[in-house]
Chains A and B, each alone.
Chain A
Amino acid sequence: MTDFKIILEITKTHLLSRFKQSSIAALGVTFGIGTFIVLVSFMTGLNNMLDGLTLNRTPHIHIYNEIKPSEVQPIDRSEEYKNSYNVIRSIKPKRSQERIHNALPLMAVLTKDNRVKGITSQVAAKVFYISGSIELNGVVNGINVADEVKLFNFGDYIIKGSPENLLRNSNGILLGAGLADKMSLSVGDRLQLSSVNGGVFPLKVVGIFQSGLADIDNIQSYVNLKTAQEFLGEGSNYISDINVKLWDIDKAFLFSKEISKQHQVTAIDIKTANAQFETGTTIRNLITYSVSITLLIVAGFGIYNILNMLIYEKMNDIAILKATGFSGNDVKLIFISQALIIGLIGGLLGLIFGLFISILIDHTPFETQALPTIKTFPVNFKILYYVIGIIFALVSTFLAGYLPARRAQSIDPVDVIRGQ
């Protein structure tokens, strides 16, 4: 084995003697890798933010009682028509309550299950908001505010006041931002809720929340669980929704099936409820990688070109090296290491460049009505992307250098010497 130091020395001399071209080749790699880092950090930052937006406030499993027609109709039970093809038109669901049947025992079972991180219970009621002469319809949810803050980051969406205010004030209400706007209400003001069956409840605004989704902010508000139950004239066993957060989100699907089968309730897991999010994430990743690979291919062609040119210029050197006993392999190694050094330097600069731009983006203000918790553009700083980046740089420059190096390996010194 040849002393690798001579190979590197020759490599270095070649690169330095063509400093401008080598730098331009390295800059191509820098640009490719830098763009990759910026894109992937920004895109995944965006992904995480959007996913987080959903994941934070979406229960992994949502349990409720869906009102739907009975699956088994009386005629299906009849022996006489058992072998017939029965068609029934205009099936209507039976009138039943919106509450979850036996909610308290179900909650006890769920709390004990070791897959469950925590549960919250809610009471939903349709209401009219009355303030002065304005009457708006909407939905009020009775919640256990401490649990909601703990499990679903409820506090992030309160833009005025605080969730604790609701805890302290049993007649308090957290109003959706859209509602507050329409009724010109602010923290400390009063309004009345009227239920569908006519009862009227006076409440005090203790906070304003903004979810980022106008459809929700225009109709939704939150009160204490007990307040909502009283409002509906029901007891403490009246629960309309149970939200479950699991330790492992991937177990949600099977677990939801299990719950709905064992407890005769409707249980929907997060993936089924939000199928579009996975697709969005995949597509954004796809864009990131394809743009980066395209840039690296362009950079690779640059390196390929420059090495080819260099080999043409260094034909005499190659012939001399071969005549004095360097093997074809040595010569190949010289040019491959040139490519790799261009890749390494260009790649490292690319990482630094990418990191710098990422930090810049991370500090760029980005405030939007829709995302009250976000103050700057989201960037995901993850060491893995930097590792992938440098591997990318080395692999692509190796591939770009391989063909020219092979050509150098097979140059016949006799042809070169005779050509003089």
Chain B
Amino acid sequence: MSTIIEANNINKYFRKPMLFHVLKDISFNINKGEFVSIMGKSGCGKSTLLYILSTMDTDYEGELILGGQKLTGKSGNELSKVRNEKIGFVFQFHYLLPEFSVLQNVMLPARKLGRKSYNEIEKDAMKSLSLLGIGDQAKKKASMISGGEKQRAAIARALINDPKIIMGDEPTGNLDSKNSDNVFNIFRQLSSELGISLLMVTHDQDFAKNTDRIIEMEDGHIIG
């Protein structure tokens, strides 16, 4: 099985308000199509790690490799491109641009990539939205739909460029159990059917239990 993401000896410090060693020697791999969850106590550094893995945070020591390509040390513009093309990200809050329609939000990363025509992108976006059960909300303004619907629209957006990996920081954190199950099933489907790797931070035991592997963190270390 091929490795999608590889983290080697990642260390991260916060210097303000005082020197604080958040991530200590983090090393792990995620394979193609693998569904991995990260668990750990609040404040142990899960989000911090995710920001580094998603290339948004470049202030760390160690090495990050995505699909065989070393990302550490690349310029901001190159990393933007990598994020656009290969990484999907699902946040816990503030998912969408509120003044655009749901459909436009989903299409945005693909239009930035510019690989397909507008019509193809629109078709892909509609397909993803339907897959996630919110095809009927596509033309609504993003600020007009419910939290669960926003969350699913954000997943559709993460999917639009056929990324190698989707990362999420508590993507079901503020969903009810029905919606949460729904989202979990979608993730499951993506990894098994499309071979997309998934890395999800979660506090939800049931959610984590059903993933392929759980990475347990404590105090900036990986403990299992």
A289 close to chain B: CB less than 8 A? no
Give bound CA distance, A325 to B108, whole Å.
Answer: 10
Contact A324 B93 (CB under 8 A): no
- A21 CB, min distance to chain B CBs, angstroms: 14
Which residues of chain A are within 8 angstroms of B95 by Cβ–Cβ distance? Answer: 320
- A249 CB, min distance to chain B CBs, angstroms: 58
Q: B80 contacts which of A17, A327, A414 (Cβ < 8 Å)? A: A327
Give bound CA distance, A2 to B80, whole Å.
Answer: 12
CB nearest to B104 among chain A residues? A9
Contact B99 A17 (CB under 8 A): yes
Which residues of chain A are within 8 angstroms of B96 by Cβ–Cβ distance? Answer: 320
Q: A322 contacts which of B80, B98, B161, B169 (Cβ < 8 Å)? A: B80
Give bound CA distance, A16 to B57, whole Å.
Answer: 32
CB nearest to A17 among chain B residues? B99
Contact A6 B111 (CB under 8 A): yes
Contact B99 A13 (CB under 8 A): yes
A323 close to chain B: CB less than 8 A? yes
Which residues of chain A are within 8 angstroms of B108 by Cβ–Cβ distance? Answer: 6, 321, 324
A420 close to chain B: CB less than 8 A? yes
Which residues of chain B are within 8 angstroms of A326 by Cβ–Cβ distance? Answer: 80, 84, 112
Which residues of chain B are within 8 angstroms of A89 by Cβ–Cβ distance? Answer: none
CB nearest to B54 among chain A residues? A323
A6-B112 CB under 8 A given contacts A320-B97, A414-B56, A418-B47: yes
Which residues of chain B are within 8 angstroms of A414 by Cβ–Cβ distance? Answer: 51, 56-57
Give bound CA distance, A417 to B109, whole Å.
Answer: 18
Chain A 128-157, CB-CB to B under 8 Å as 1, else 0, gives: 000000000000000000000000000000
A327-B76 CB under 8 A given contacts A13-B99, A414-B56: yes
Give bound CA distance, A420 to B93, whole Å.
Answer: 7
A368 close to chain B: CB less than 8 A? no
CB nearest to A14 among chain B residues? B99
B41 close to chain A: CB less than 8 A? no
CB nearest to A318 among chain B residues? B97
- B124 CB, min distance to chain A CBs, angstroms: 15
B205 close to chain A: CB less than 8 A? no
Chain B 84-98, CB-CB to A under 8 Å as 1, else 0, gives: 110001011111111
B17 close to chain A: CB less than 8 A? no
Which residues of chain A are within 8 angstroms of B93 by Cβ–Cβ distance? Answer: 420
Q: Once A and B bind, how many residue pairs between them come within 8 Å at the CB atom?
A: 76
Which residues of chain A are within 8 angstroms of B114 by Cβ–Cβ distance? Answer: 2-3
Which residues of chain A are within 8 angstroms of B80 by Cβ–Cβ distance? Answer: 322, 325-328, 330
CB nearest to B95 among chain A residues? A320
Give bound CA distance, A329 to B89, whole Å.
Answer: 21
Give bound CA distance, A326 to B82, whole Å.
Answer: 10
Sort chain A's interface into a size bin.
20 to 34
- B65 CB, min distance to chain A CBs, angstroms: 19
B29-43 interface (Cβ within 8 A of A): none
CB nearest to B87 among chain A residues? A325
Contact B109 A324 (CB under 8 A): yes
Q: A327 contacts which of B77, B92, B157, B169 (Cβ < 8 Å)? A: B77
- A305 CB, min distance to chain B CBs, angstroms: 21
Report the count of interface residues on B (CB-CB < 8 A): 32
Which residues of chain B are within 8 angstroms of A328 by Cβ–Cβ distance? Answer: 76-77, 80
B84-130 interface (Cβ within 8 A of A): 84-85, 89, 91-100, 108-109, 111-114
Chain A 211-226, CB-CB to B under 8 Å as 1, else 0, gives: 0000000000000000
B21 close to chain A: CB less than 8 A? no
- A417 CB, min distance to chain B CBs, angstroms: 6
- Give the one of B47, B56, B57, B81 with max A CB within 10 A: B56
Give bound CA distance, A329 to B109, whole Å.
Answer: 15
Which residues of chain B are within 8 angstroms of A6 by Cβ–Cβ distance? Answer: 108, 111-112
- Give the one of A5, A16, A316 with max B CB within 10 A: A316
A189 close to chain B: CB less than 8 A? no
B83 close to chain A: CB less than 8 A? yes
A413 close to chain B: CB less than 8 A? yes
- Give the one of A17, A323, A326, A413 with max B CB within 10 A: A323
Chain A 400-413, CB-CB to B under 8 Å as 1, else 0, gives: 00000000000011
A3-31 interface (Cβ within 8 A of B): 3, 5-6, 10, 13-14, 16-17
Give bound CA distance, A10 to B98, whole Å.
Answer: 11
A329-372 interface (Cβ within 8 A of B): 329-330
Contact A324 B94 (CB under 8 A): no
Contact A329 B77 (CB under 8 A): yes
Contact A316 B94 (CB under 8 A): yes
- A415 CB, min distance to chain B CBs, angstroms: 10
Chain A 170-196, CB-CB to B under 8 Å as 1, else 0, gives: 000000000000000000000000000
Contact A323 B89 (CB under 8 A): yes
Contact A320 B56 (CB under 8 A): no
A230 close to chain B: CB less than 8 A? no
- A406 CB, min distance to chain B CBs, angstroms: 14
Q: B83 contacts which of A2, A323, A330, A417 (Cβ < 8 Å)? A: A323
- A285 CB, min distance to chain B CBs, angstroms: 46
Q: B94 contacts which of A5, A10, A320 (Cβ < 8 Å)? A: A320
- B151 CB, min distance to chain A CBs, angstroms: 14
A3-B92 CB under 8 A given contacts A327-B80, A414-B51: no
A317 close to chain B: CB less than 8 A? yes
- Give the one of A13, A321, A322, A414 with max B CB within 10 A: A414
Give bound CA distance, A417 to B168, whole Å.
Answer: 12
User: 15 A-B pairs, CB-CB below 8 angstroms?
Assistant: A3-B111, A3-B112, A6-B111, A10-B97, A316-B94, A320-B96, A321-B97, A322-B80, A324-B89, A325-B83, A325-B84, A326-B84, A326-B112, A417-B169, A420-B94
A interface vs B, CB < 8 Å?
Answer: 2-3, 5-6, 10, 13-14, 16-17, 316-317, 319-330, 412-414, 417-418, 420
